[in-house]
Structures are given as C-alpha cells and as structure tokens.
Amino acid sequence: MRIYLSGPITGHTDEAIRSWRSLAIRRLSPLGEVIDPTLARYDSDVAFQKQESPPEALDRLRHGLLVVRRNRNLIRSCDVVLANFLGAGSKASIGSIGEIYWAEEFGKPVFIVRERFGNVHDHAMLNAIASRVVYALEDGFKLIEELAAVTEADAQSA
C-alpha cells in the first residue's frame, strides 16, 4: 500500500509541518510505503507578502512546477491520501486542496482529518470528495489500517 501525506505548508513552522508527518510515517510504515513530499525541499514562505526580484520569482515558479508535477504523479501512484488539517489556522491550504482534487480525479480514497468546528477546510466540496472526515489523527491512521486490511484480504482471495 502507498499512502500519500497531505497538509498545510505555507505559513507554518517546520515543526508544525513535520511533526505529524513523522508520527504518520512511524505509525503507517508497517502497512507499506508512506509518501511524504516534505522530505524533499519545500517552501513555507508566504510568497505574496514578499518583494521578489525577477530571478527569485522565476526560481519560485520553477520550484512550483516541480512540486506540481512531482506531487500529481505521486498521488496518481498512491493507494490513499491522508490529508491532515488539524491546526491549519485561518488560511486554506491551496496545495493540499489541489492534491485532494487530483486524488478525486484519479479515484483515490481521501481521508481528511480536521477539527469538528472552526476549521477553514470544513467546506461542502471537500467534505463531498472525502471518503471520510475524522477529527483526530489517530482516527485517520485507523481508517488507513482498515483499508489496508481490506486491500490485503481482497488480494489474498483473488
């Protein structure tokens, strides 16, 4: 099983970006490959608030193209997407929302983890795409364990 981790990056600290992903890798690795796109270079700067020179803007554009192509292909090749929006703050994660839409297009299950109330990602369209919405990271892990068990049982009976 290939599990893709999605969640906010822009405007967040390295600790906020990496802590839950590290936990997910430890918890879910026994089930298969856990794909964490933040293990590669990422940019958490809030770019619209910065003055950029033309070469800096071009570098950001190139990095964005690389991330889009890489992440889209990773999602295409995964079996499930775990999107964690706990503590996301007041700004929607554009990148994560894009990843969820790719997963939908590729027919991949999406498990969203967020607060029950007050999370900016509590949106009718995301809720409609989600295979399940849960309110604790542990519950997201359990959903993936259940999916892995069903997938393994299906493979054994085939």
Give the side-chain half-sphere CA count within 13 A for 122: 12
Domain that holds residue 87: 2-157
DSSP state at residue 112: E
**Among residues 68, 138, 157, 150, which one has the least CA distance to residue 109?**
150
Name 5's bridge partners: 82
Give the pLDDT confidence score for residue 42 in this predicted structure. 65
How many CB atoms sit inside 10 A of residue 157's CB?
6
Q: Answer for the pair 122, 42: CB distance below 8 angstroms, yes or no.
A: no
Place of tokens 């359990």: 142
Give the pLDDT confidence score for residue 48 in this predicted structure. 65
Q: Could you tell me the CATH number of the domain that includes residue 145? A: 3.40.50.450
Give the pLDDT confidence score for residue 47 in this predicted structure. 63
C-alpha span between 137 and 26 (Å, rounded): 13
Place of tokens 């839950």: 20
Give the pLDDT confidence score for residue 43 in this predicted structure. 66
User: What does the pLDDT look like over 16-58, one tens digit per residue?
Assistant: 879 999 999 999 999 999 999 988 776 655 566 778 889 988 9
The total number of structural domains in the chain stands at 1
Those residues of the chain that have pLDDT short of 50 are: none
pTM of the model: 0.91
Quote the tokens at residue 18.
């990496």
Q: What is the largest CA-CA distance in the chain?
A: 59
**Among residues 105, 69, 64, 99, which one has the least CA distance to residue 82?**
99
How many CB atoms sit inside 10 A of residue 13's CB?
9
Give the pLDDT confidence score for residue 16 in this predicted structure. 86
